[in-house]
Chain A
Amino acid sequence: MRMNKLRADVQALLFLLPFLVIYGLYTIWPMIKGVEMTFYKWTLIRKMKYIGWDNYTKMFHDQEVWAAIWHSTIFVLITTPTMIVLAIVLALIANRKSRLQKFYRSVFFLPSVLSVAVASYLGLFIFQPYMGFVNSLLHLIGLLPSGTELFWLTELNLSWVALSVITLWWTVGFNFILYLSAMQDIPDEIYEAARLDGASDRHVFWKITLPYLNPITKTITMLQIIASFKVFLQIYIITGGGPLDKTRPIIQLIYTTGFRKNDLGYAATMSYVVFVILLVLSAIQYWMNNRKGAQA
């Protein structure tokens, strides 16, 4: 019996070996190397100079870093709740028995197959002044007086709206699919029983559907926070981090520091601080989930 288990373990290890080697070489090793970088003045051409904790002390006094982390946080705060509500609403629509069911499913999911560049350039076209879709529409229905323009891409508050709308439209499909499949896992008998007891649609949603979706909501929340915190390319393309770097997220600052300012050591330091932030966030959430699970 024990021998068999050992054999199975060895077999499993053999099958895993190619993956482990590649994962170790291209993920674990660079991560270790990355920690080393944080203690050096390290440029693209690898002129290295050991500077101890300088990158860390510099970072804690660097206003730009904290501003950028705050911008990423703003983005998380805007997009995560709206993303979850939107995904549930879309899933509810697509889950209803209707002839358009298949149509809804494909339409809601379709944007998420686009690349970030395509989605961002669509965003640029939609939100640009004078001939962009949004302003033209607002002119058409009379919400925006003719002769005036909303500068979605250069006014700070409007840029956040534009960036969030594009991101939601582009990425909601993935969460939508997760919710849809979770909804389909809810047994029909429960709904039937509720209906027999005379529960209204609203009751059914709040008392049955939503609680059943709870586990997947937790998963989506965590993945979404991490994904939103890592936002970079759509902002880089749409606003470039402007106006005055006020939408510049931390990843863009890391990119600029590493590849524009040629300071890979400092960029690596910021990366690891982001890493720690995400780790702490996940740990908190993990702990909260477990605690609630224990109570139930």
Chain B
Amino acid sequence: MKKSFGLVLALLFSISLLLSACGGSKNESSSSPSASPSDSSAPASSAAASESAAPSGDSGQKVTLSFWTLFDGGDGANMQALIDEFNKTHPNIEVKNTKLVWGEYYTKLITAVGNGNGPDIGISHTSRLPDLIDQGVATEVDDAAQAAQVDWNSFNQNLLNATVVDGKHYAVPIDTHPFIMYYNKKLLTDAGVLGADGKPVIEPGADGFVKFLTTIHEKLPKITPFALSNTNDDPYRLWWALYHQLGANDVISQDGTKAQVDADKGAKAAQYIQDLYTKGLIKKNDPDFYKNFQSGTAAVMMTGVWATGTWESTKGLDFGAMPIPQIYDQPATWGDSHTIILPATKDNDPAKRQAAITFANWVADNGQIWAKAGHIPSKPSVLEKPEFKALPYRSDYVAVADTVKFMSHSTKSWQIRDLALFKYLNEVWANKMAPADAMGKISTEIDKVLKE
């Protein structure tokens, strides 16, 4: 009897563990107002007192802003450098950085803002912005931008437009990070496909790129001609690029209510990539395609520009960077942007918001620091700065910023990507589904996601 009682307890306990994991993290917000360390209701804070001797600003009161970021590695270090520099040059504003883990960032941001414990400044991908706006997390920034005298014309309009909804600005874009191509100069020389200018010799069009890869494959049989993962993001990004190079429309309708996959073009693009796998030009089930390229056993690879910083710091890797080849009618590639948003806070204090947008604009103005990781700055003026020009490789692909095809302005764009596109395209790459069938299933799945 006693033992069975113990078992029941054990059962209850394990089930409650399971349930509490699904119940969401519920903070009692009243007990710990940690997100507002020194707001305007406490004017006699020590920081403000010591600042008052130097009345350089309009009020002399120091504003402290909490900033949540999702950057790690090189990105994280560069963002910290930007924050430190900003704090040094702006005595009346202090930005405090909280680094969150990538995979948890959005969930935490949304929950915290819902509880009234969100940060003053946050990061959002452009593709995630509609969702954050819809949930009331990202706020409209026009008022604050006007107060801080932000000149919207100073941004790359292609990037900026992706952050405007119904004529209102919701974010300050700080970069774009498109999908580009990297190549190993030594291997390309060995295969005889590197031109005198240090750029690959690729004949134009769909056959040209296949011929280029086939030559590498024949000349260097032990080398992977084209390193790419076999699932999810990167092959999808290539598909997205080719799909738009064919001039296809977005995968959902303009009003965001139903699927509108251009099945013929989508299948054509998918077929092209599937052939690269089946012909052995992309290694099937490559366990780690980054490492494959990094260790000099792959001739070309494609991924986002963020890899530039990693390749630069790899000893003995002589590489080049360029836009992905134009396979079809018009140049286009996949891309996303990091933007700075002002999440809704309890009081939406205008002074804080003005300071926050000042910071965001300053980060965009100093894109040469942010570009160290490989990103393309969001302001064309930064591209003219000598510090930016001194960075190698970036200039080889900055033009891509104008041809980035952003994902639809949908609150469900990430769900559509993960649950419909990744899922069936992965089957195509594994050669288990015909491209045309996949397009049909993708349409059905997108409709399902949009209806939920």
Contact = CB atoms under 8 A, between A and B. Distances in A.
Interface of A: 26-27, 30-31, 33-34, 37, 43-47, 128-132, 149, 151, 153-154, 215, 219, 222-223, 226-227, 230, 240, 242-245, 251, 254-256, 258-264, 267-268, 271-272, 274-275, 278-279, 282, 286, 289-290
Nearest to A286: B4
B287 A219 contact: no
B107 interface: yes
Given A31-B16, A242-B426, A129 B285 contact: yes
Interface stretch (B76-84, B109-117, B164-172, B327-335): B109-117
B54 interface: no
A130 B111 CA distance: 42
Contacts, number: 121
Contacts of A290: 4
B23 A33 contact: yes
A31 B16 CA distance: 7
The interface centre, meaning the residue of B16, B131, B415, B419 with most chain A CB atoms within 10 A of its CB, is: B16
B137 interface: yes
Interface in B271-296: 283-287
Contacts of B285: 128-130, 149, 151, 153-154
A159 to B, nearest CB: 12
Chain A to chain B: the 8 pairs with minimum beta-carbon distance, closest first: A45-B114, A128-B287, A44-B110, A30-B23, A271-B22, A27-B16, A45-B135, A129-B285
Contact of A278 (B11, B24, B114): B11
A243 B11 contact: no
Given A26-B20, A153-B285, A227-B14, 15 more contacts: A30-B23, A33-B26, A44-B107, A45-B111, A45-B135, A222-B7, A226-B15, A242-B231, A244-B423, A244-B427, A259-B107, A264-B22, A271-B18, A282-B8, A289-B4
Name A's interface SS: helix
A45 B18 contact: no
B399 interface: no
B378 interface: no
B198 interface: no
Given A223-B10, A230-B18, A258-B24, A45 B113 contact: yes
B211 interface: no
B197 interface: no
B430 interface: yes
Interface in B26-67: 26
Interface in B409-427: 414-415, 418-419, 423, 426-427
A261 B452 contact: yes
B124 interface: no
B26 A30 contact: yes
Given A243-B430, A260-B418, A226 B14 contact: yes
Given A129-B287, A132-B287, A264 B11 contact: no
B116 to A, nearest CB: 11
Contact of A243 (B137, B284, B427): B427
Interface string B92-132: 00000000000000010011011000000000000000010
Contact of B230 (A31, A154, A275): A154
B136 interface: yes
B385 interface: no
A130 B287 contact: yes
A188 B231 CA distance: 57
Given A31-B16, A149-B285, A226 B114 contact: no
Interface in B204-230: 230
Contacts of B452: 261, 263
B19 interface: yes
Given A31-B16, A260-B418, A43 B135 contact: yes
Contacts of A260: 414-415, 418-419
B389 interface: no
B186 interface: no
Contacts of A242: 231, 423, 426
A149 B280 CA distance: 14
Interface string B231-248: 100000000000000000
B15 A278 contact: yes
Contacts of B22: 34, 254-255, 258, 264, 267-268, 271
A148 to B, nearest CB: 11
A278 B12 CA distance: 10
A222 B11 CA distance: 9
Contacts of B423: 242, 244-245
B25 to A, nearest CB: 10
B399 to A, nearest CB: 35
B232 to A, nearest CB: 8
B432 interface: yes
A275 B110 contact: no
Interface in B251-288: 283-287
The interface centre, meaning the residue of B4, B22, B230, B432 with most chain A CB atoms within 10 A of its CB, is: B22
